[in-house]
A and B are shown apart, each in its own frame.
Chain A
Amino acid sequence: SQKIEQNSEALNIQEGKTATLTCNYTNYSPAYLQWYRQDPGRGPVFLLLIRENEKEKRKERLKVTFDTTLKQSLFHITASQPADSATYLCALPLTGNTPLVFGKGTRLSVIA
């Protein structure tokens, strides 16, 4: 069956370091993958979309990679700040015309 796994439920890092979050999927061949940020009690906010023919995408301090051979996406936040503390969700469509399915998320805590 199809599965999305985000490597850890929680990740603590020191301010200024690079946070790296992992999203693995099995039995999918998604055309794209998305990352969202969710703060407690609020709706998710879209961050980045990367397509299967793109290796890397950047937006300010954020970088996403997409390895369709490994079936893995890495999400990096460089020069992390306490304000980056949140839950980060990866999301994929099961097929081209189906809605997104979300991973369980990784709760990132950036410690000053």
Chain B
Amino acid sequence: DTEVTQTPKHLVMGMTNKKSLKCEQHMGHRAMYWYKQKAKKPPELMFVYSYEKLSINESVPSRFSPECPNSSLLNLHLHALQPEDSALYLCASSQRGLAGAGELFFGEGSRLTVL
């Protein structure tokens, strides 16, 4: 099994809603990532968890709150978002954490629309 599974695939929310994006991998990978991708732009890093500890937060607004309950799961909690936060949110994992070269395994993404 080499999959990274993201749910939901599509999410529409109002600016006052609270919702969560979920990501799961069962490859035993030790680093998990959230990337944000707007149309015709490259993926931009938001957060990195390495060995279940938050290692990198790329100055993301506090209305995005990551959580890593265990080594297989990664959540992104959303609250009071703005319309400009509408994007494709990609989860990824890598085998060895941040150190050392390694490919990223991406999920299919969660398409978020904020009204």
Taking beta carbons and an 8 Å cutoff, which residues of A are in contact with B?
31-32, 34, 36, 41-46, 49, 51, 89, 91, 93, 96-105
Contacts and interface: CB of A to CB of B under 8 A. Distances in A.
Interface of B: 4, 33, 41-45, 48, 56, 88, 90, 92, 98-99, 101, 103-109, 111
A68 to B, nearest CB: 15
A105 B42 contact: yes
Contact of B103 (A42, A46, A97): A46
B109 A102 contact: no
B111 A44 contact: no
Given A101-B45, A102-B42, A104-B42, A41 B107 contact: no
A43 B98 contact: no
Nearest to A34: B103
Contacts, number: 52
Given A43-B90, A43-B92, A104 B101 contact: no
6 contacts: A41-B88, A41-B111, A45-B106, A97-B99, A99-B45, A103-B42
Contacts of B43: 44, 89, 102
B98 A98 contact: yes
Contacts of B33: 99
Contacts of B56: 98-99
Contacts of A36: 104
Given A99-B45, A102-B43, A104-B42, A42 B108 contact: yes
B101 A44 contact: no
